[in-house]
Structures are given as C-alpha cells and as structure tokens.
Structure 1
C-alpha cells in the first residue's frame, strides 16, 4: 500500500499548473517511473522539487541544468517523449 501512496504523491507533485510540464511529467510517472532504479527514482523526486521556471527552461532547452544528475533525468524524460 505504501507504494500506491507514494505513487499518488508523485502524481500530485507532477501537477505543475504549467501544461508544458504536465504533459511531460504525468505520462512519465504513469509509464516510465516504475522502470527506474532506486537511485534514479530519488533523482526524479529531487527534480520535482525544482521551481517551475527552471524546469521549463531545462525541458524546453533554453538553459542547461547545472546539476548533472538532474540534467541526466531531464534527458531521460525527453528521450522517452521523443520515442
């Protein structure tokens, strides 16, 4: 049950109020998150703590994320969307 509870929390955290981010995060949580290893799950959860303007800039390619782990997670999510 804890897994469902944490998944529900992730879904809530993915609701950003910015459509461009919602269309990236929501499908990823539903279809890609469970395939991540524990370390990458922690990185994804840390990514969700970032501010929306930063997330938007990273995902739209306006800025490069300076944190290598977060930058790698951005790439993982974008690569999944492009497939």
Structure 2
C-alpha cells in the first residue's frame, strides 16, 4: 500500500516538463491512483521510470509498449481520458 508521502512523490515524478505528459499523469495520480488495485499501482510506478520520449509515443498512440505491464497501464490512463 502506498502512503500519502509515496503518492506525493509519485505526483512530483509525474511532472515531466512536457505538457502532453503532465496533463495525463498528474491528474491520474490525483484522481485515480488510490483506487487502482495494488498490482496496477506498481505498474504505474514502473511506467514513471520510462523515458519521456517513450511515454509520449505511447500516449500519442504512435507506439505500443512491448512490456505487457506498461501496455496495460497506458491503456488504463488513455481509457480514463478517452472513454468509449
């Protein structure tokens, strides 16, 4: 289980300095992270360790992560902002 301090740290790590990533990741931490199952929370932490250019390509749907854990997390985040 992630503590409030852990979540503050994750929110800080979600600020990537690239607007396209910031508008996806920061609100996700604020609004959805706590409701995720622990496995998905761990996947999100793993996602934050990735390079910005990879994250950008995945979230702009120009590429798909080879790692199924990362692909799942990208889909969860995209589904949240693109319902339907």
Which residue number in structure 2 is paired with residue 27 of structure 1?
27
Structure 2 residue runs of 5 or longer lacking an equivalent are none
Q: Give me the CA root mean square deviation.
A: 1.0
Equivalent-residue separation in structure 2 for 1:61 and 1:53 (angstroms): 12
Equivalent-residue separation in structure 2 for 1:41 and 1:57 (angstroms): 21
Stretches of 4+ aligned residues off by more than 3 angstroms: none
The reply on whether 1:13 has 2:1 as its aligned counterpart is: no
Aligned length: 82
The alpha-carbon deviation at position 82 of structure 1 amounts to 1.5
Structure 1 residue runs of 5 or longer lacking an equivalent are none
